[in-house]
Amino acid sequence: MIDEYVWGQVDRISPEAPVQVVSVLRDSTTLGGAGNVVNNLAALGARVTVTGVIGSGPNADLLTTMCRNLGVDVSGVVRDPNRPTTRKTRIIGGHQHVLRIDRETKQTISQAQCDHIAGFINDRMASFDLVLISDYGKGLLTDTLLRRIIDSAQADKRPVIVDPKGLDFKKYAGATAITPNKREASLAAGIEIIDDETLEAAGWKLGQDTGVEKVLMTCGKDDMVLFERGHNPYRIAAEARQVFDVSGAGDTVLAVLGLGMAAGGSFRQAAALANVAGRIVVGKVGTATVSVEELREATEPSERALAAKQKSLSDLVPIVEQLRTEGRTIVLTNGCFDLLHVGHIKLLAASKKMGDVLIVAIDDDESVRVLKGPGRPIISARERLRIISALDTVDYVTVFSTRKLEDLIKALRPDVLTKGSDYADKPVAARMTVEKLGGRVVLVPVTEAVSSTRVINQIKNGNSGVKP
């Protein structure tokens, strides 16, 4: 499928009907459905062959071009001139999903198309490490085609993992695993899942009814539960994250689970990694992928996580562009941050609340000397970088020269630039540049009469400033 996003802002209600008026700012397209599984696999460096049915015309050309640009083998894709290429258009107003428009058919594929796809898979099976079946219920995966794919994989001893659809999961018999979400599992098992007891009953029933080796049930904020014959239910938890958009999370789980197994990991290891990946993508807006670096940061925290926040300006530019396409609000603040104090903490916390991503630009050592005088900074830029990176409110940190502040603003184009309210009587450098680029400058109230210079002078004078 093709996922199309129309991004805009909502300022009023239509006078013609009680609906929102979306002023369009930009459009974007990406691979959706099974294509999102392909996209996630390619983003993680996998070699991917894809097969399925699409239509003809510009949408079909666009879909195959996007796949080829990812290095994906599309020789197994069948074009049907009588079938539209599925296209889902989502209208996003600000951060709100306003409307979705689907252009598709769910008509069952022809016997000739079924034979072609089954033959293609059978001929190439020996070259595959693993088969992923992404069932979206659009007429492609008939009972006959599923049986032929799974039988072919079993004959070559290749694992098959299915992201299922519908009420009858028996059609997936012989697969290595199925990955239903909790709602899908509840409907297919005919058991309303309201607690742990009913969840386990549904999981075991699905395994028994379908004959698959493993049922990996994704449970949203409650993470995953794995059901395997002869074992107790195995719960896989991951760190909670803010949810922006759950669309495509199942695709990411399927991709990472499959790639983890194909790379030699055990099913449980791959499932744990897939759970982490799913939690990452729900924090993004729209159909999204997860990168190797994001997985590494999420699974190997501490020093590596701190280092991941530290970026050069050239590294930050593409990151910010990607965040902007996801509809994120970029906040920038800058300063010396020589000896971190409560005023800094409050400034950063307040700055974070003004958007989705907070970037902190730290003056380099030469700039601090010019601004603060001889003997400064007390703490080098390298150490200040590490200290600011350790704060949860901060997403990215960079070091820059004060004389290049305008260049920094022009490169990052922040939606908001923040400064402490002690700048109320001072000109804010680069204000005109920020506003000219469509951003705004916000002065954050700072009530504490504290500064790094004051703290340093108190230390030099042997006076802590604390009264007994």
Active-site amino acid positions: 251
Alpha carbon dihedral 389, 393, 399, 402, in 10-degree steps, equals -150
Distance between CA atoms of residues 361 and 368, nearest Å = 13
Beta strands at 96-103 and 177-178: parallel, antiparallel or unpaired = unpaired
CB distance 120 to 149 below 8 Å: no
Name the 3-class secondary structure at 100.
Answer: strand
Q: Which residue has the tokens 């999981």?
A: 203
CB distance 233 to 225 below 8 Å: yes
Instruction: Find the angle CA(270)-CA(273)-CA(275) to the nearest 5 degrees.
Output: 110
Distinct helix (H) and strand (E) counts, the chain: 17, 17
> Is the Cα dihedral 116, 120, 121, 123 positive or negative?
positive
Task: Name the token pair of 47.
Answer: 């070699």
Q: Which residue has the tokens 């599923």?
A: 146
Among left, alpha and beta (phi > 0; psi -120 to 50; other), residue 423 is alpha
Angle between helices 249-262 and 34-43 (to 10 degrees): 50
